Structure 1
Amino acid sequence: MKKLAVKKLIACCVVLLSLTAFARAEDGAKLKGLWVTGGCCHDYKKHAPLLTGEIGKYANAEFEIVFGLEIFKDKDYAKGYDVVVYDLCYGGEPDKDLIGNITGTIAAGKPTVIVHCSLHNFRAAETDDWREAMGMTSSSHDAFRALTTKKVAKHPITDFWPDDWSTPGEELYRTIKFWPNATALMTVHSPESKKDHVVTWINQYGKGRVFATTLGHNMLTVGQKDYHRLLGNGLLWVCGRLDDSGKPAAGSGSK
């Protein structure tokens, strides 16, 4: 009987080890991202291929780039993707159903990254759902100028970020409301409003993890390696693929 019990125990251990190995292989699988971009005021045709390419050098991820809002008319637009990146500038779009498809997707648990002017999307909408999903409300920005960031929380996403990081030119988006489920990671002081405004943060919206930054107006920021890693870390974090030291989890770095 004892020999039989030992054999059963060994068999169980083998099964558990096999399942663990399978889970790790799945965890290390290449992430499939949907990068939705377009709109006014930015060189998205240049930014999108650059950023997806640079993030792909850091994280084990590949992206499909889609321009415009048409994709959001399908409530299942994110099906088949591990993460959705919103890098858009459509301030005057008040389509309630379209917004509902987006916020419903995030709330259902789809990992989400918000970049720069996406924060000013749908400003004409009466509903606050998009703003709450992002974690911050903003409708304007300071004049284009050099700025320096300040880290205000310790987090794996931003641990690598230089304390004195600066860019020679950027738009500082003004924080109107910072939603309760959001956590600020970095701020910038405004000489115009005399206030600190959040520029990088994380948010929980329903079941969905969100990483967001208002940085990234043009190549002065978009072309910087630190910025590429910031987006890469944020993307890995929302997908549960960033370890506590701020490095890609096993199998989640570039191949």
Structure 2
Amino acid sequence: MVIRMLLLLLTVLGLAPVARAKEPRPLRVLWCTGGGYHDYKGLTPYLTGKMQKYANVQFDVSTDYKAWADKGFADKYDAVVFFFSQHDPTAKPVVDNIAATIHAGKPAVFIHGSLHSFRELGPDRDPYCEAIGLTSVVHDPLRPLETKKVADSPITRFWPDDWKTPSDELYQNVKLWPNATALLTAYSQKSKKDHVVAWTNHYGQGRVFGTSLGHDRNTAGMEVYPHLLANGLLWVCGELDDNGQPRSGFGGAKAAK
């Protein structure tokens, strides 16, 4: 009775211990990588570490692309990031399963070389490209690029209007799929056209963010680049608000300072 009265008194005085709201767990994300033409071994730890400044996320890394043909390869993850370069004429089960996994609702991010992977499949690659939201088969040589914002999006609201990279590959667009929305473009000296270099997509129940930027550290080493990837990841997971800020509990180490 005495203890009960004491607790009542403490509550009235505002001194009773209050249960703290449970913080959201970090997003658990599968980072699919590997292959040639790029420094995936160096860029993977660099980018995942940098992204954690902007998003509350933990990464597991997968380098066996054939395992991505397993129907359950992404089941325990909140999202999947694809950052790889693979060429295999027998990989139709891989591309079909990636597309089906996203169509069923798994959020995904596609970066640079993943757009050109498995080009040798020809039209059999179309479901994969539709899931990405953009088809590309060739790129310009490495050169300086300047981006232009073409849509208002929380993902790119922070992005500088006059952003330039000293060197990157411009992936020429063959097709921007109907459910995709261009966010950033850059001009090709080869085709004499603007090409989409960052976009969002809806494929079935899945949300997708993609960027063709990021060949090497000339772009990846600029602080805005991992911020862009982190915002895209948060957006596909529904954890980026309309102002381009992480929802409560999903900001990274930088937001926590």
Q: Secondary structure, in 3 states, of the residue corresponding to 1:249?
A: coil
1:186 aligns with 2:197: no
- Structure 1 runs (4+) deviating above 3 angstroms are 91-94
Pairwise CA RMSD of aligned residues?
A: 1.6
| Contact 2:146–2:165 (Cα < 8 Å) also in 1 | yes
Cα distance in structure 2, aligned partners of 1:92 and 1:188: 30
Q: In 1, Cα distance between the equivalents of 2:171 and 2:90?
A: 21
SS of match in other structure, 2:48: helix
Aligned to 1:223: 221
Q: Deviations over 1:71-129 (max 9, x none)?
A: 21311000110010000111344422222211110000001000001000111123211
Which among 146, 167, 171 is matched to residue 173 of structure 1?
171
Matches of 2:185 and 2:69, distance apart in 1: 34
Q: Does 1:32 pair with 2:24?
A: no
Counterpart of 2:232 (choices 231, 234, 247) is 234
Q: Is the 8 Å Cα contact of residues 69 and 98 (structure 2) preserved in structure 1?
A: no
Per the TM alignment, residue 162 of structure 1 is displaced from its structure 2 partner at its CA by: 0.2
Inter-CA distance 86–31: structure 2 relative to 1 (3 Å threshold): same
Match of 2:52 in 1: 56
| 1:110-160 deviation digits (Å, cap 9, x = unpaired) | 010000010001111232111101001100001110010000000000000
How many residues of Structure 1 are paired with residues of Structure 2 in the alignment?
A: 233
Change (3 A) 1:71 1:25: farther
User: Amino acid of the residue matched to residue 218 of structure 1?
Assistant: D
Residue in 2 that maps onto 1:120: 116
By how many angstroms is 1:208 displaced? 0.3
Of 79, 91, 95 in structure 2, the residue corresponding to residue 83 of structure 1 is 79
Which moved further from structure 2: 119-128 or 199-208?
Answer: 119-128
Uncovered stretches (5+) of structure 1, i.e. residues with no partner = 1-20
- Aligned-partner Cα distance in 2 for 1:73–1:25: 36
Secondary structure of the structure 2 residue equivalent to 1:72: helix
Residue 71 of structure 1: aligned partner: 67
Query: Matches of 2:217 and 2:187 in 1, distance apart?
Result: 22
The match for 2:8 is: none
